[in-house]
Amino acid sequence: MMPQRGRGDIQEYYNLVRRWRRQCNDEGMSDEEFMELYSETLDSVSASIITPENSNFTRRKKYCTYLALSLAILLIAANYKVLYSSIACNLQDYIYPGLRLLRKFSIPIISLFPSLTGKQITKNNVDNPYDLKILLHFTISALYHETCLINNPFFAVADMDCWPCSTVNNVMEVHKPKPVSEQQSAPFVYKTDQEIVTPIKLKHFYMSKKHVFDKEAAKILTDNKFYSHPTEMILQQESGEKHTYVWEFNNMNVAKILRQLIPRPEIVPKFGQSTERYLIVDTSQEQLQIPDTECNFSFLLSLSGSRTIELNPAEECKHQCKSLKVELKPTYLLWYNWWYWRPIVQPTMGNATFIAHVGSYC
């Protein structure tokens, strides 16, 4: 049986609730509103009640959690190399199957949205011609030919042998060069048989092959900030705007067409030249970092205008090799080994437009 005191407490609580309910009804509150207020009051009272047992349990739970996390961090720090090697070795076997699986999953998505491939993006269904260049840049097929999607700025070769560039003190000019197919480290320049390519000639060449360029290479990096369309580049040049353009080509169709304007240099073998090429058009006379090439045997060919090129040693060889400078005149070609040298176009006080071609071979 319930003790008399407990029964009296319940009866008193019941009477208080009834009295409270009557007062609320007198003030115009309905029974539903009173029950909602009553439930909220019970919830707030229950949340505010903290028994010593609950407090001790919560404290012990936090202590155990912090202890487990501390032990896990200590174990990872003590066995970092072992864990890293184990994960890296085991992960290698799953990279290619994982990418194949991702490709199979992506095929139905691309089939449902053909615009992702850029095949349905044409001037007929895009009102603004400059919206066309943006759409072409953000298509999946545009990334297919890219050799590298994300560069690692912190990559460095451990224990790199820098003696090939440590003995180089200047950039020599050579005559009648032969194809360089062996390991070579010393950069050199020579005069080629390349014809001068002026901005007007480049414009006419683009207009004659406009349908191919707009389809295969419709994006030009402007001032290393945003992408422009080739037509936009031509209009900006004609209006006298000062910019630096880096036009990238990375497929065979454009490479074949580009050969009509820029024949293969003498030092480049018949086989092995990378399809990745660049055209640099500089009207701003600002400093410019030459893009990294796909192969280590690289060359910079001046099509028109002259600039001072500074060859800085690779980050791994800065303590042994020194920077070099050379004046790159029109139709002159600078050969360098990208493994050891990073060329930078220096600012100039002249007004001549600098047009250059960057290529490489393996």
Query: Using one digit for the tens of pLDDT, what is the confidence trace for 207-217?
Result: 988 888 888 77
Asked whether residue 180 carries a pLDDT value surpassing 50, the answer given is yes
DSSP three-state, residue 238: helix
As for how many domains the chain has, the answer is 3
Residue 30 sits in the same domain as residue 165:
no
Asked whether residue 127 carries a pLDDT value surpassing 60, the answer given is no
Q: Residue 274: CA atoms inside 13 Å, Cβ hemisphere, count? A: 22
With respect to residue 129, please indicate whether it lies within any of the assigned structural domains.
no
With respect to residue 60, please indicate whether it lies within any of the assigned structural domains.
yes
Domain that holds residue 71: 55-112
Site of tokens 């640099």: 280
**Single-letter amino acid code for the residue at 47:** A
Residue 91 sits in the same domain as residue 197:
no
Residue 82 sits in the same domain as residue 213:
no
With respect to residue 263, please indicate whether it lies within any of the assigned structural domains.
yes
Residue 212 sits in the same domain as residue 321:
yes
- pLDDT of 22 reads 81
Q: Going by DSSP bridges, is the β-strand pair 226-228/220-222 parallel, antiparallel, or unpaired? A: antiparallel
Residue 280 sits in the same domain as residue 161:
yes
With respect to residue 173, please indicate whether it lies within any of the assigned structural domains.
yes
Residue 181 sits in the same domain as residue 61:
no
Boundary-marking domain end, from 112, 135, 159: 112
Residue 38 sits in the same domain as residue 59:
no
Tell which residue, 278, 343, 345, 344, has the closest CA to residue 306.
345
CB-CB contact of 304 with 198 (8 Å): yes
Helix axes 80-112, 52-78, angle to 10 degrees: 100
Of 35-39, 232-236, 313-317, which gets the smallest average pLDDT? 35-39
With respect to residue 130, please indicate whether it lies within any of the assigned structural domains.
no
Tokens of 352: 């001549």
Report the share of the chain in percent with pLDDT over 90.
3
Residue 10 sits in the same domain as residue 63:
no
Tokens of 283: 């009207």
With respect to residue 120, please indicate whether it lies within any of the assigned structural domains.
no
With respect to residue 223, please indicate whether it lies within any of the assigned structural domains.
yes
Residue 33 sits in the same domain as residue 182:
no
Q: Residue 158: CA atoms inside 13 Å, Cβ hemisphere, count? A: 0
Residue 285 sits in the same domain as residue 199:
yes
Residue 24 sits in the same domain as residue 89:
no
Q: How confident is the model at residue 142 (pLDDT cuts 50, 70, 90)?
A: low
Of 38-42, 117-121, 338-342, which gets the smallest average pLDDT? 117-121
CB-CB contact of 302 with 335 (8 Å): no
Q: What is the per-residue DSSP string for 202-229?
A: HHHHHHHTHHHHHHH---EEETTTEEE-
Residue 245 sits in the same domain as residue 103:
no
- pLDDT of 131 reads 46
Q: How confident is the model at residue 357 (pLDDT cuts 50, 70, 90)?
A: very high
Whole-prediction pTM value? Answer: 0.62
CB-CB contact of 153 with 294 (8 Å): no
pLDDT digits (tens, 9 = 90+) for 101-126: 887 887 777 667 655 554 444 444 44
Write down the mean pLDDT value for the chain: 78
With respect to residue 136, please indicate whether it lies within any of the assigned structural domains.
no
For residue 164, what is the domain's CATH number? 2.60.120.650
pLDDT digits (tens, 9 = 90+) for 270-325: 887 888 888 999 888 888 888 888 888 889 999 988 888 898 988 888 888 888 89
